[in-house]
Amino acid sequence: MKITIIGTGYVGLVTGACLAELGNDVFCLDVDQHKIDMLNNGGIPIHEAGLEEIVARNRAAGRLQFSTDVAASVAHGDIQFIAVGTPPDEDGSADLQYVLAAARNIGRHMTGFKVVVDKSTVPVGTADRVRLAIEGELTARQSDPQQCPVTFSVVSNPEFLKEGAAVEDFMRPDRIVIGCDDTSEGQLAHAMMKNLYKPFNRNHERTFWMDVRSAEFTKYAANAMLATRISFMNEMASLADKVGVDIEAVRHGIGSDPRIGHSFLYAGCGYGGSCFPKDVQALERTAGAYGQELMILRAVEAVNNQQKHVLGQKIVARFGDDLSGKHFALWGLAFKPNTDDMREASSRVLLRELIQRGATVAVYDPVAMPEAKRVLALDLGPTFDQQRIRFAHNAMDALTGADALAIVTEWKTFRSPDFAQLKAQLKTPVIFDGRNLYEPDAMADAGFEYHGIGRSVLTRT
């Protein structure tokens, strides 16, 4: 099938590359010439396991092309995926300007039936706005009122990709959600989308068909539920620290209940990334537009914002309010492992607090160092310099002369370090573990002062 992907960001690039891998003829459009040049020269603008190989293989096979030519992109694809960004607006609602611009471009150039697929995460009702945008362009083009109009159908097909495992998630999905209307155009779109996703349903049916608005809502509801589980456990961890409870024991105890399960029940220093923070906010704003307050989600957001300060609070409780002359090592900068995404990362909050209190910091992340340099320069402004924040060559290099180690991202490489070397590198053997990677009693036996999240019952010094 001939497919067009509008937007070569995280969702668009993964979607386009994986659909090409299945044998489709894919045209990826982006207005960023620099990004298109990078992709045409073999580069990849994001870090995602397995993606570079798939892109290279399908470019070489002629199944995947990248361009800034809007007219050519509309002419190419019978199915047009809109996969552009929907960043939060000033009030927290989803900014749809890029989605609607893509829709208008389709309406401006289309000459035959198109299935227009909202792949971006968009609030309920966006398909209606996309439809109106396309219709407006078609009307403006139509000089003869008796002319047979060009038809199209707008479909909702939200993505459920985890950063760091996006290729695997796309190629082996646990569910495919598609929303179509019941018009004759919608029925044709249903048949085309069914054919497109046919390879994923050979073993068993993974597609959930529903109306367009329900499909739009499903994406937000899923992310809101996952964010709720995280904030719930973080709030329990805060109480666990006060009452002398091991939150890890609690996690195992409640996770064994099949009605609850173990996923997304890990206490830590807050969630980040491009999805959970903005999707929770956007769903709250949608509710507000209909006169409803989502009290649970408001609490989820508040808990998460507070949780990002927990490591800083533990460090201040141990070393005092004034951290002038103190030097810390920080392992992990990305908001989660297996990505270089720094959006809403907890490390940014902690670094800002440490620097503002006068400390210096040596940081290390296996992947996110270049992106971190760019983001932290914006975060810290005039207070950002290489004297206050040193970007270490490796994890052990970051430890040299540090008063303590703070762990913010749960990279696998941090799980089993050489603890004897780690202790030797630190000025004082203190660890603030924002992801509960280590066992407190084992750390105590090894001579470390260990501060986890919700694990004070086992802390020994």
CA distances to 46, 266, 340, 353, 430 from 445, rounded to whole Å, are 41, 24, 34, 31, 13
Residues 399-451 pLDDT 10s: 999 999 999 999 999 999 999 999 999 999 999 999 999 999 999 999 999 99
Give the Cα separation of 407 and 141 in Å (integer): 58
Residue 216 located in a structural domain: no
Q: Is 283 helix (H, G, I), strand (E, B) or coil?
A: helix
Give the Cα separation of 461 and 451 in Å (integer): 10
Judged by average pLDDT, the poorest of 37-41, 63-67, 89-93, 268-272 is 89-93
Same domain, 264 and 371: yes
The answer to whether 84 touches 54, Cβ cutoff 8 Å, is: no
- Confidence label for 255 from pLDDT (cuts 50, 70 and 90): very high
pLDDT reported for residue 142: 78
Residue 103 located in a structural domain: yes
Give the Cα separation of 203 and 217 in Å (integer): 27
- Confidence label for 386 from pLDDT (cuts 50, 70 and 90): low
283 has pLDDT over 90:
yes
What is the extent of the structural domain holding 292?
228-458
pLDDT reported for residue 79: 98
Residue 221 located in a structural domain: no
Residues 127-162 pLDDT 10s: 999 999 999 999 998 765 556 578 999 999 999 999
196 has pLDDT over 50:
yes
Number of H helices, E strands in the chain: 18, 14
- Domain boundary among the residues 180, 210, 240 is at 210
CA 406 centroid distance within chain:
23
Residues 202-227 pLDDT 10s: 888 899 999 999 999 999 999 999 99
Q: Which of 82-96, 147-161, 243-257 has the highest mean pLDDT?
A: 243-257
Same domain, 84 and 24: yes
459 has pLDDT over 50:
no
pLDDT reported for residue 93: 83
Q: What CATH number has the domain bearing residue 78?
A: 3.40.50.720
pLDDT reported for residue 454: 96
Q: Which of these, 107, 130, 110, 108, lies nearest to 118 by C-alpha position? A: 130
Same domain, 344 and 374: yes
Domain count, the chain: 2
DSSP per-residue codes, 380-443 = HGGG--TTTEEE-SSHHHHHTT-SEEEE-S--GGGTS--HHHHHHHSSS-EEEETT--S-HHHH
Tell me what percent of the residues of the chain surpass a pLDDT of 70: 97
The residue among 460 and 54 whose pLDDT is bigger is: 54
Residue 423 located in a structural domain: yes
Same domain, 178 and 247: no
Same domain, 279 and 414: yes
461 has pLDDT over 50:
no
Please pick, among 28, 180, 269, 275, the residue that the annotation labels catalytic: 275
Across the chain, mean pLDDT equals 94
- Confidence label for 385 from pLDDT (cuts 50, 70 and 90): low
Residue 217 located in a structural domain: no
Task: Report the sign of the C-alpha dihedral through residues 32, 131, 5, 83, in that order.
Answer: positive
68 has pLDDT over 80:
yes
Same domain, 271 and 414: yes
pLDDT reported for residue 87: 86
Average pLDDT over every residue of 47-62: 95
Average pLDDT over every residue of 246-274: 95
pLDDT reported for residue 383: 66
**Residue 175 CB neighbours (<10 A):** 12
pLDDT reported for residue 417: 96
Residues 316-361 pLDDT 10s: 999 999 999 999 999 999 999 999 999 999 999 999 999 999 999 9
Whether 275 is catalytic: yes
